[in-house]
Amino acid sequence: MDSILHFFETFASSSNVFVEALLLTLQLAVVSLILGIVIGLFFALLKLTNKKVLHFIYDTYVFLIRGTPLIVQIFILYFGISDLFLIDKFWAASIALAVHNGGYIAEIFRGTIQSIDKGQTEAGRSLGMTSSMTMRRIVLPQAFRRALPPLGNQFIIGVKDSSLAAFISLPELFNIATTRGSTTFDEMTYLLIVAVYYLALVAVLTIGVKLLENKLSVSE
């Protein structure tokens, strides 16, 4: 009972610090995922061309992203970029996470775009649309609907992966939890607290994706 009371007391007393870290975590996740979508769509479109050199670029990018740990990618990008010019830790982490998420999002978009019946493209071309216009107005809207469930899953993974930004001293949720835990010698309490915040984030995101799926399915 004492440990439970201690948890809630610590949770309440540290709420201001964790809410601030929560907002930073949300900013990091949103920025990195938006950039990841742009990167992923760009590389997915490379794969859908008829040029082998672009296929090679896509395959190399996806192989490197999926074949190396995210923490290694964060360190390489952070310290590599820092050697070239001064960059804020937030943007260094955002870029690293975006490049990482982009590799997985590229595969999601590639698969969903290729799953659209080729007759849709042919119908667009028969109406006088260009290839880019057909892709933008006919193929991509349908592909996005199909991509939403795996994208939602990737978004959840992206939110949790943002905790690795703690290793470059960005004061997001996990960083605050480990810092306060080490200074108070109460690591377990703060780890449980940060777990609650992440569970809340994932729950809200899951509900939001589900509502969007239902809305799109009705409109379809």
Sequence spans of domains, the chain: 2-219
Q: Which has more pLDDT, 176 or 118? A: 176
Is there a contact between 66 and 43 (Cβ–Cβ < 8 Å)? no
Predicted pLDDT of residue 57: 93
Question: Is the model's pLDDT at 149 over the cut of 90?
Answer: no
Q: For residue range 106-138, what is the model confidence (pLDDT) as tens digits?
A: 999 998 888 887 776 767 767 767 777 777 777
pLDDT band at 139 (very low <50, low <70, confident <90, very high): confident
CB 107, CB 62: distance < 8 Å: yes
Angle between helical axes of 140-161 and 187-219 (0-180°, round to 10): 170
CA distance 95 to 35: 8
- In angstroms, the CA 99 to CA 62 distance is 10
How many Cβ atoms sit within 10 Å of the Cβ of residue 12?
9
Cα 166 from Cα 162, distance rounded (Å): 8
Q: Contact 89/31 with Cβ under 8 angstroms?
A: no
Q: Quote the pTM value.
A: 0.86
Please say whether the dihedral angle defined by the alpha carbons of residues 115, 118, 123 and 126, taken in this order, is positive or negative.
Answer: positive
Here the contacts of 4-7 (C-beta below 8 Å, separation 24 or greater) are 6/189, 7/189, 7/192, 7/193
Output the six-digit token pair for 142: 């349908």
Instruction: Give the up-direction half-sphere exposure of residue 147: CA atoms within 13 A in the CB hemisphere.
Output: 26
Q: How far apart are the first and last CA of the chain?
A: 52
User: Could you read off the pLDDT of 29-58 as tens digits, one per residue?
Assistant: 999 999 999 999 999 999 888 889 999 999
Q: What is the C-alpha to C-alpha distance for residues 109 and 39, in angstroms, rounded to an integer? A: 11
CB 61 within 8 A of CB 105: no
Right CATH for 2-219 from 1.20.1630.10, 2.40.320.10, 1.10.3720.10, 1.10.3210.10: 1.10.3720.10
